[in-house]
């Protein structure tokens, strides 16, 4: 199916789902292969504040960053338009956000509620906390029309309880549940906590987009050590996940601008070379994959807002390259 036909089919399905009864377990369109994921910042920093309606059409999956831990109920999560962001946008309400999400879904886009981030965390240390998490996140997904969940927990990961929480949410949402993860590089090295979580839920996992930034040097699956800023740093680590997951479940996470991360920014041409290396065995560095994987999932970037601040200098060339892949 061509990308345009897939988009038309997604739009038709989303329009039909808009009239589904409230709270129904409607199934959204599957995330397309060679997709571009971006994080929408529900807070204000140096990046350009954006309404969901202002997000570039380049993006297929939009991760809403972030759901916050509820201080009154351990394990529970809250989500609404950040007051500072609303003010920066001249007034942006929860109802406007919901309407914007619905409109983007009608264009074939998918949404995930992101949990965690650099400064956030959710305590899933007990079964009671897991129950609070599932109840609160399930309600948010329904209320806002969000397709699923992005796991970005960076401050300790209870693998067993996170697995339980994910599977319970999947049961509530149904087959259309979108599940993404954004582990740090160390967490998907051999023995890393995310590798066990990935193994536990890979049958319902949409995609893993490892953060190939803010990282020290890491081992590649070829036994060599690679530093940030090269094609090899990306491709020789991606192959570790490719030993566990289908190619379409593996994406490459990079910052949209040098300001978006403390370290690890690379020119979009490096990102595109890494895609070509993994998909077709071309434009590689020192490391060359054992075989081409044309079904490679795509790219993730932190963040949509930083990309918009640069006039889509990241997403425009990456989107063009993704569309050129077989």
- Predicted pLDDT at 1: 35
List, in sequence order, every beta strand (DSSP E) within 42-120.
61-69, 77-78, 110-116
The rounded distance, in Å, linking the Cα atoms of 326 and 288 is 19
CATH architecture of 31-324: Alpha-Beta Barrel (3.20)
The rounded distance, in Å, linking the Cα atoms of 212 and 293 is 19
From the list 112, 206, 131, 197, the residue with the least C-alpha distance to 163 is 197
The rounded distance, in Å, linking the Cα atoms of 239 and 211 is 14
**Long-range contacts made by residues 1-7, C-beta under 8 angstroms, separation at least 24?**
3/32, 3/323, 6/32, 6/108, 7/107, 7/108
Give helix then strand counts, H and E, for the chain. 10, 11
- Residue 240's H or E segment, with its range, is helix 231-242
- Predicted pLDDT at 154: 73
Neighbours of 149 (CB within 10 A): 29
Q: Going residue by residue through the chain, which has 326 residues, state the pLDDT in tens, using 9 for 90 and above.
A: 334 334 434 443 343 333 333 333 333 347 999 999 999 999 999 999 999 999 999 999 999 999 999 999 999 999 999 999 999 999 999 999 999 999 999 999 999 999 987 666 899 999 999 999 999 999 999 999 999 999 998 777 899 999 999 999 999 999 899 999 999 999 999 999 999 999 999 999 999 999 999 999 999 999 999 999 999 999 999 999 999 999 999 999 999 999 999 999 999 999 999 999 999 999 999 999 999 999 999 999 999 999 999 999 999 999 999 999 98
- Cβ within 8 Å of residue 285, ≥6 positions away: 230, 231, 232, 235, 273, 277
- Predicted pLDDT at 119: 65
The rounded distance, in Å, linking the Cα atoms of 197 and 186 is 14
- Predicted pLDDT at 155: 73
The rounded distance, in Å, linking the Cα atoms of 141 and 26 is 12
The rounded distance, in Å, linking the Cα atoms of 197 and 202 is 8
From the list 244, 229, 235, 152, the residue with the least C-alpha distance to 190 is 244
The rounded distance, in Å, linking the Cα atoms of 154 and 90 is 32
Classify the C-alpha dihedral 243-246-248-253 as positive or negative. negative
89's tokens = 């946008």
Neighbours of 29 (CB within 10 A): 20
Which residues participate in catalysis according to the annotation? Answer: 154
Paired strand residues for 62? 38, 111
DSSP state of 121: -
- Predicted pLDDT at 116: 85
Distance from the Cα of residue 306 to its chain's centroid:
15
From the list 191, 190, 171, the residue with the least C-alpha distance to 179 is 171
pTM of the model: 0.90
Whether 70 contacts 76, CB under 8 Å? yes
DSSP state of 112: E
């Amino acid at each position: 199916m061509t990308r345009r036909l897939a988009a038309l089919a997604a739009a038709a399905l989303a329009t039909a789902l808009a009239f589904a009864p409230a709270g129904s377990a409607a199934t959204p369109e599957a995330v397309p292969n060679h997709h571009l994921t971006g994080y929408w910042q529900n807070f204000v920093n140096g990046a350009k504040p954006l309404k969901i309606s202002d997000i570039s059409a380049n993006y297929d999956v939009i991760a809403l960053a972030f759901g916050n831990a509820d201080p009154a109920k351990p394990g529970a999560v809250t989500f609404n338009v950040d007051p500072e962001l609303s003010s920066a946008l001249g007034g942006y309400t929860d109802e406007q956000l919901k309407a914007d999400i619905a409109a983007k879904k009608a264009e074939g886009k998918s949404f995930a509620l992101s949990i965690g981030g650099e400064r956030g965390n959710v305590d899933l240390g007990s079964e009671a906390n897991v129950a609070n998490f599932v109840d609160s996140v399930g309600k948010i997904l329904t209320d806002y029309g969000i397709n699923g969940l992005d796991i970005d927990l960076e401050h300790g990961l209870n693998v067993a309880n996170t697995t339980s929480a994910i599977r319970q949410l999947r049961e509530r949402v149904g087959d259309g549940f979108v599940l993404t993860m954004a582990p740090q590089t160390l967490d998907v090295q051999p023995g890393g906590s995310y590798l066990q979580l990935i193994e536990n839920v890979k049958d319902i996992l949409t995609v893993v987009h490892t953060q190939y930034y803010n990282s020290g040097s890491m081992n590649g699956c070829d036994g060599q050590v690679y530093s940030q800023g090269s094609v090899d740093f990306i491709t020789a680590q991606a192959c570790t996940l490719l030993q566990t997951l289908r190619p379409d479940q593996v994406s490459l996470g990079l910052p949209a601008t040098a300001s978006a991360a403390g370290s690890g920014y690379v020119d979009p041409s490096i990102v595109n070379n890494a895609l070509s290396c993994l998909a077709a065995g071309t434009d590689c560095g020192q490391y060359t994959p054992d075989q081409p994987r044309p079904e490679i999932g795509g790219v993730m970037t932190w963040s949509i807002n930083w990309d918009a601040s640069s006039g889509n200098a990241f997403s425009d060339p990456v989107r063009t390259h993704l569309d050129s892949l077989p």
